[in-house]
Amino acid sequence: MEEKQMNQIFGIEEVPKALREDNDFNNNYSENNRKKKRKKKSILKKLIIIVCILILLGVGSLAFILYGPYHGFRDWFITTAMTTMEHQWLAYLFYSQETIDKVMANNTVEEIDEETDTDAIKVNLVEKKEYENEYEREILQKEHPGDKYKIIKISGKGYTGYLAVIYDPSKVHTLVTAKMGKSGQYLTTMAKDNKAVVAINGGGFDDPDYNSNAANPLGITYSKGKLFTDYYYAGTGGIIGFDKEDKLVLASNCTKATAEKLGVRDAVTCGPFLIVNGKASTVVGNGGWGTAPRSAIAQRKDGIVLFLAIDGRMVKRPGADMDDLIEVLQKYGAYNAANLDGGTSTAMVVNYELINDPVDSTGAHKTRFISTGFGLIDN
């Protein structure tokens, strides 16, 4: 019996074909929706699992890097953080005081324990025409006869910078902030005020609140024979200055009496000493200073003074360590050399314009107030 006849016998109204098709469609649509929802839930579940795995891998990798058997990253991280003013808290975030002290003790610069042999320095302003090597040529070959200075671009693994060659050491003097005790100044301002055509930042300064004020230089500060500061200093290095015979002197005993004995006319206080009497300091581990922008001053045996400014704090150019400074300065014939204040303080000015690329702790491309500097004052 056909379905139509059965429906008539039992009084069942026949469902229109269009309605049946519509119901079939709705059923299929609902089923498809359920399948799609199940698929979406499955995808979401998989994504959550993947994210969790990645987080676990990331945490595990970070833990391995920070606390694993390889100490290279740990030592670099701690020493770099501890030699900055603003970011020492990063080291304490991951490590105990005991670990930090141990790392700093195992990464040091062992300075040469000798008095500066000033007799070895023979100031010679006669221009040479023959050069022993490419570095001597870069130093001694002048673009124009009678040039007072020369700027050499340098680069190495992880850094770029500038080397200023000052031919007459008698023209190098300490630049001091005009607002001593109140605030520091930008190096460009100090250079303009003192008519220093070439300048580099100088010694360290007291900055207990990390406010970048730079009002008070550390230790001993002299400029043109005048004593500006005479503070106790127990850090690395010590007096970095020029005596009355225009020779760079380095003295770890940072006192006024020592400065007077050496006949200091211009000086700042900083460190560590990098080269003394032609002998390089021994860098243990990474030296304890990490990798960062750096500044240094040096003198060759012929009296020529070198200002070195190295940029850093960039992805491909993190900066230099103490070994890098020593290597560069030795190539260019440094006989005595010392590290100056670095980091955001690192700055080199030529004709009253900043030529390097300082980066502060926030990543901004700018320098900061400083207390002192060295400048070529040709007047």
How does pLDDT run across 331-341, given as a tens digit for each residue? 999 999 999 99
Nearest CA-CA partner of 237 in 206, 203, 212: 203
Q: Express each pLDDT in 257-278 by its tens digit.
A: 999 999 999 999 999 999 999 9
Asked if 73 and 285 count as a contact pair (C-beta separation under 8 A), the reply is no
Q: Is the pLDDT of residue 212 over 70?
A: no
Asked if 241 and 268 count as a contact pair (C-beta separation under 8 A), the reply is yes
Helix 72-82 to helix 97-106 angle (10° resolution) is: 100
Asked if 372 and 268 count as a contact pair (C-beta separation under 8 A), the reply is yes
Under DSSP, the state recorded for 119 is G
Q: Domain map of the chain by residue range?
A: 108-377
Write the Ramachandran bin of 287: left for phi over 0, alpha for psi from -120 to 50, otherwise beta: left
Asked if 247 and 121 count as a contact pair (C-beta separation under 8 A), the reply is yes
Percent of the chain with pLDDT over 70: 79
Percent of the chain with pLDDT over 90: 57
pTM for the full predicted model: 0.79
Nearest CA-CA partner of 325 in 306, 310, 345: 310
Q: Express each pLDDT in 73-115 by its tens digit.
A: 777 677 777 766 566 777 777 888 888 878 777 888 899 999 9
Query: Cα(131)–Cα(128) distance, rounded to whole angstroms?
Result: 8
Identify the pLDDT of residue 19. Answer: 47
Q: Band of the pLDDT at 67, cuts 50, 70, 90?
A: low
- Residue 255: how many other CB atoms lie within 10 Å: 16
Asked if 298 and 305 count as a contact pair (C-beta separation under 8 A), the reply is yes
Q: Is the pLDDT of residue 52 over 90?
A: no
Identify the pLDDT of residue 1. Answer: 52
Residue position matching structure tokens 């290095």:
237
Residue position matching structure tokens 């740990």:
74
The whole-number average pLDDT for the span 55-81 is: 66
Identify the pLDDT of residue 101. Answer: 78
Helix (H, G, I), strand (E, B) or coil at 349: strand
Query: Cα(317)–Cα(23) distance, rounded to whole angstroms?
Result: 69
Q: Express each pLDDT in 122-138 by its tens digit.
A: 998 777 778 999 999 99
DSSP code string of 215-265: -EE-SEEEETTEEEEE----SSSEEEEEETTS-EEEESS-SHHHHHHHTEE
Q: What is the mean pLDDT of the chain?
A: 85
